[in-house]
Amino acid sequence: MSAKSAAARAQGRHVLGRFPLSLRVLGYATVAALGLLYIVPFVIQLVTAFKTDPDAAAHPLGLIPTTPTTAAYQRLFGLSQDGDGVPFLRWLGNSAFVAVLVTAGRVLFDSMAGYALARLRFPGRTLLFGFVLAVMAVPMVALLIPRFLVLNTFGLFDTYTGMILPLMVDAAGIFIMKQFFESIPREVEEAARVDGAGVFRTFWSIVLPMARPALLTLTILSFQGSWNEFTHFLVATQSSQYETLTTGLARLVSGGLGGGTQYPLKLAAALLATLPVAALFFCFQRYFVQGANAGAVKE
């Protein structure tokens, strides 16, 4: 953000002055309608999750449940004796376990690789950076069968290792970290080196602490990415014991877990699956914004 545009915003007025009143009313109405279009689906989800099945079917738009119930949540958390319990806690545990390990791996490995590509001189560096750029162009959907093949060959299919290891490095994260390390003044590191710190010491105690904003961005984006990951887990596992919130929910929704529409149950599960990322989003929105804009440059 340049100082100029910040000043312009502080000034806070459109160059052509205010809209005429009639236009302003119309404008606010349109904007409110657009805003509702983005919020209402989540509101309906929230409300429906507290309805009974017949109520949800009869009054899909009703904003107040006729007979409020927490049956959906009781089934998800295994509190009710209602037969075909959905192994929701298992999904939750798997998602959390995988997301934490993947995030830790990405933060460490991406920043190491980003630092080497930005700062260390070694043969093949330019070539490797070209490789990272090429990898960012490879779409995940074209990797469905290839990933399965390699996991199957190495005996990693249907294991936690197979779910986690392939996701532990991502090219976009390396790119973000490389860009950041290049923006740190080189003098700081050189001073540390002159004082006798080795390459790893310099990286670990001098550079990484300075990279806190970039690391936070990377942590948040990695957690969001691995929490929402679907396609990789779909081809890396088949047993229900490895199901995550995404693969489990997908099976529940596409009818793999018993009959009936059970929309309150499905919507409650989807809601709970969204909550952690939503909480992160509302606390750290600007890091998500940075991620979206980094996505624009990375291609």
Partner 1 sequence: MFPRTSQNPRPAPRSRAGGGPRTVGSPGAPDAPGGGGPAAAPHAFPAPRVGRRAEGAWGWLFVSPMVLILGLFLVLPILMALWVSLLNWDGQSNPFSGQAEFVGLDNYRGLLTQDGLDRTLFATSLRNNLYYVLLTVPLQTILALTLALIVNQRMLRGRSALRTAFFFPSVTSSIAVSTIFLFLFQGSGAVNTVLSWIGVKGPNWFNDSRGVLSLLLGGLGIVDTSHPTGALADHSFMGLSWFEWLSGPSVAMCTIILLAVWTTSGTFMLIFLAALQDIPRELEEAAAIEGVSRFQLLRYVTLPALRPVLFLVLTLGLISTWQVFDQVYVMSQGAPGNTTLTPAFLSYSSAFNDADFGQGAAIAFILLTLILTMTAVQRFLFRERTPRARRNR
Least distance in angstroms from the C-beta of 273 to partner 1: 5
For the bound state, the minimum distance from the C-beta of residue 124 to partner 1, rounded and expressed in Å, comes to 7
Please list, in sequence order, all residues whose beta carbon lies within 8 angstroms of the beta carbon of residue 261, skipping any fewer than 6 positions away.
53, 56, 57
Nearer to partner 1, 1 or 81 (CB): 1
Token reading at 250: 């997908």
Q: How far is the CB of 180 from partner 1 (least distance, A)?
A: 3
Q: Which is nearer to partner 1, 64 or 137 (CB)?
A: 137
Give 74 or 144: the residue with its C-beta nearer to partner 1.
Answer: 144
Query: What is the DSSP code string of 181-204?
Result: HHHS-HHHHHHHHHTT--HHHIII
Pair 174, 114: CB distance under 8 Å: yes
**Of 100 and 250, which has the nearer Cβ to partner 1?**
250
In contact, 95 and 244? CB cutoff 8 Å: yes
Nearest residue (CB) to partner 1, 12 versus 81: 12
Q: What is the DSSP string of 235-247?
A: HH--SGGG--HHH
Element at 152 (helix H, strand E)? helix 144-153
* d(C-alpha 252, C-alpha 239), whole Å: 14
Other residues' Cβ atoms within 10 Å of the Cβ of residue 118? 20
* Nearer to partner 1 among residue 17 and residue 83 (C-beta): 17
Rounded CA-CA distance 205/197 in Å is 9
Q: How far is the CB of 292 from partner 1 (least distance, A)?
A: 4
**Shortest Cβ distance from residue 81 to partner 1 (Å)?**
25
Residue with tokens 């970039």: 214
Distance CA 251, CA 230 (A): 11
**Contact assessment for residue 129 and residue 178, using Cβ atoms and an 8 Å cutoff:** yes
Residue type, 246: T
Q: Which is nearer to partner 1, 37 or 81 (CB)?
A: 37
Smallest gap from Cβ 235 to partner 1, in A, equals 8
Q: CB of residue 100 vs partner 1: minimum separation in angstroms?
A: 17
Nearest to 118 by CA among 203, 15, 47: 203
In whole angstroms, how close is the CB of 96 to partner 1 at the nearest point? Answer: 14
